[in-house]
Amino acid sequence: MPKVSITTDYAARDAGIAINSYTTVLRRPRVPHDVFATYWRDVHGPLCSRIAGLGWYVQNHFDREQDAHLWPEVDGIAPFPDYELDGGVEIGFLSADDQGVFNAASSILFADEQNMFAATVAYALPDGSRTLVDRLPDPVPNGDDGIDRIHVHFGAAGTDAKAFGDFMSNFAETLAAEPAVLKLRLHLPQTYDNAEPAPPAPNVDHQVPPERTTIAVVEIAFETPMTRRAFFETEAFRATMDAQKAHIAYASAFAVSGVYTYVRDKTLTIAGLRGSRPAQLIERLGANNQVADDVCDLIRTSSLT
């Protein structure tokens, strides 16, 4: 499968995710990153994938070591203070009924968070997220596909959440219209309320400072870091600077080291069924028998039909 399509936009395939959440995650201190990442991918990931009602589950792992030129500095817009992350998670549903089914069973999942996460914050997106453009053909990525991906977190420059959301929507549309942008997905969550911390995971911090209560997240992808850096020098991007300063107080960008898809359209991927790394091994060796219906049914039901 080609990594990029110059003729097809796959954005419409995400429209069925009617309800979504975007969760920021920070690993526990002194847990080595490789141990954390392996546990999250191959222990926690398949556990979450099996919970009934789930329609969409994607882990985005972040790389703390990538260069500092992920997003341009704009006068008047500061990085979020003391803001380190190890990933961002999307958990979505095709309907409110499905979300209710998931919530009723989710305690088994959230009890596992304390094993690897120091802090998680689930931002609610009751109207879903919005994919404005997606020229990446693979609907279920499982790893690092070589595409230059970043997540940019923006904090509002005031208390008017609607005005901030309207600006971010227009800003995202402007960026998505540019040919250099291969994918752009916008998350405009509800204002986070520390009085109702989410998710309900014990022994994990879910509190945020005031500047991180009203945020937007832009997932944006370019073919290479060179393409990204060149895009920031274009007139189209520079023309947005004044409006950014008027509506955005904080911006922090995170490099994506891998995207791992476990559930799409209420269907388990091979990563969701077997684990992310086993799925990569199956693909690498071309083990077609491992994705045949009889083997998948055996894994799901422990019986041959």
In this predicted structure, the answer to whether residue 114 has a pLDDT above a threshold of 80 is yes
Cis link prior to 126 (omega < 30° from 0)? no
Residue for token digits 């020098």? 233
| Res 7: pLDDT | 84
In this predicted structure, the answer to whether residue 107 has a pLDDT above a threshold of 90 is yes
Q: What rounded mean pLDDT belongs to the chain?
A: 95
| Res 238: pLDDT | 96
Of 196-210, 236-250, 273-287, 288-302, the least confident:
288-302
With beta carbons less than 8 A apart as the criterion, state whether 74 and 17 touch: no
8-state DSSP, 276: H
With beta carbons less than 8 A apart as the criterion, state whether 6 and 149 touch: no
Any idea what the Cα angle at residue 219 is, between residues 218 and 224, rounded to 5°? 125
In this predicted structure, the answer to whether residue 2 has a pLDDT above a threshold of 70 is no
Any idea what the Cα angle at residue 9 is, between residues 45 and 279, rounded to 5°? 25
Nearest Cα neighbor of 158 from 171, 147, 167, 149 is 167
| Res 299: pLDDT | 86
Tell me how crowded residue 118 is: count the other CB atoms within 10 A of its CB.
17
With beta carbons less than 8 A apart as the criterion, state whether 46 and 275 touch: yes
Q: Which tokens is 305 given? A: 């039909």
